[in-house]
Amino acid sequence: MKTWVSTIAGGFAGWDAPYALHPNDEARAATTLNAMIADGIEWPEAEREFRHYLSERGVRGQKLKRQMERVAAFISPRLRG
């Protein structure tokens, strides 16, 4: 079963590209967002999972901060909490 967590990589072009920058990545990020909304996910849980995804790929420091700012701008306003 595919869960929203398993789709996180798509918004990062499958690795650690800037989140939802390319139109294809943006479409995949929207798929993740829609699944999160359908599952009733709130921002704190989403933030943890996105940070986990990035940290597993060695993203740290300023790059992590910039990535999470992009994720928050795309995801957070559309979720509860």
Cβ-proximal residues to 56 (8 Å cutoff; 6+ apart), any chain: none
Question: Tens digits of per-residue pLDDT, 25-71?
Answer: 999 999 999 999 999 999 999 999 999 999 999 999 999 999 999 99
Place of tokens 């993203």: 59
What is the DSSP-derived secondary structure letter of residue 19?
Answer: T
- In this prediction, residue 6 carries a pLDDT of 96
- Rounded-to-integer distance, Cα 62 and Cα 39, Å: 31
- Give Cα separations from 12 to 15, 35, 80 (angstroms): 5, 17, 23
Is residue 1's pLDDT more than 70? no
Q: Global pTM? A: 0.94
Confidence of residue 80 (pLDDT cuts 50, 70, 90): confident
Cβ-proximal residues to 18 (8 Å cutoff; 6+ apart), any chain: 12, 66, 67, 70
